[in-house]
Amino acid sequence: MLMVCHHLDPSIPEDVAFADSRIRPETIAAEDILHDLGVFSIISSDSQAMGRVGEVIIRTWQTADKMKKQRGKLELTSGSPSDNDRIKRYVAKYTINPAIAHGIGHLVGSVEVGKLADLIIWNPAYFGVKPEMVIKGGMISFAQMGDPNASIPTPQPVFGRPMFGAYGGAIAKGSITFVSQAAADAGIKEALGLNKRVEPVKGCRSSIPKPMSALRLLPIGQTEAQMLIQKLLNDIDSEWSQIRDNNPEDMHSFGIAQEIYAMRHESLPARLFMS
C-alpha cells in the first residue's frame, strides 16, 4: 500500500529504503502503549498515512482489548472489578476528545444535557463492529433491519439501513453546521438559507489535553517526549519481542511484520525517534 501510495518502485533500493523508514513496527508497538497510558488523546483514521476511516471504532476497541491482555486492568479512580476506566479512556479517543480539539465539544461529543448526542445501541456480541441502532436527536436514524420485502423486520438478510431520522427534514433537525464565530455573527444561516442548525466553534486554538476526558497528559516538548519514550522502552521492546522472536511460519498474519523486522537497520531507540 505504501509503495503504491507514494508511487515507489520496488526495484529501486532507495524506494525500498524509503518504505522501510515509513513503516516502523517499533513505533506501531509503542503507539498501543502510549494510547493505553493516555499519552495520545485521539484515535484517527490516518495513522501511517494509510487511513481507513471505517475501521476507527473497531481498531480502537481491538487496541483496548489487546492492552488489557498485555498490561492488565487499568485502574485510575474506581475500585470496581470492571475495567470501566479503560473503557472511558478509549471511548473518549473518538468522541469528546476530538470534539474538544475541534472546538465543538460544548455541543457534541458526549451524552450531556444541552448537547446533540448519537445514542448507539449495541448487541454485546458485535460491540464496536455492528451497531443495532443509532438515535440522533431523539429520532432513529439507523438500525438493523431484515428483508424490506417481508411483513416483519426479522427475515434475513439483516443489514444496517437508514431510518426515518435519515430522511427529509429530520436530517436538518439532527445535524449542526459548524462555522467560525465571524460567520455566525454575519448571519450566514440566513444569508445562505441553511436549514441546519448553525453554531460557531469555540476554544479550538486554546484547547489543551488537560480538560479532555480520562487523560493525564499535558503539552510536552521534544526533549520531554524522548525522555518519556525512553522510560517506556522496556514495555515497548517487550511487545515488539513478541513479534520479533516468533517463527514467521507460525505467525500467519504477523509474517509481514517479521519480514519488516528482518529489513531494519537502526536500533530501537533510533527508529522510535525517527521522523
Chain segment 33-67, per-residue pLDDT in tens: 888 888 888 988 875 556 678 888 998 999 999 99
CB-CB contact of 65 with 83 (8 Å): no
pTM of the model: 0.72
Position with higher pLDDT, 244 vs 152: 152
Residue 31 is predicted with a pLDDT of: 85
Using a pLDDT cut of 70, give the percent of the chain over it.
71
Residue 99 is predicted with a pLDDT of: 92
Domain positions in the chain are 20-40+219-275
Residue 265 is predicted with a pLDDT of: 42
Please give the backbone phi and psi of residue 132, each rounded to the nearest 5 degrees, phi first: -75, -40
Position with higher pLDDT, 185 vs 137: 185
Residue 204 is predicted with a pLDDT of: 78
Question: Which cell goes with 63?
Answer: 487496541
Q: Catalytic one among 6, 7, 35, 265?
A: 6
> Would you call 106 a catalytic residue per the annotation?
no
Residue 258 is predicted with a pLDDT of: 45
97: helix, strand or coil: helix
- Cα angle 78, 233, 237 (rounded to 5 degrees) comes to 100
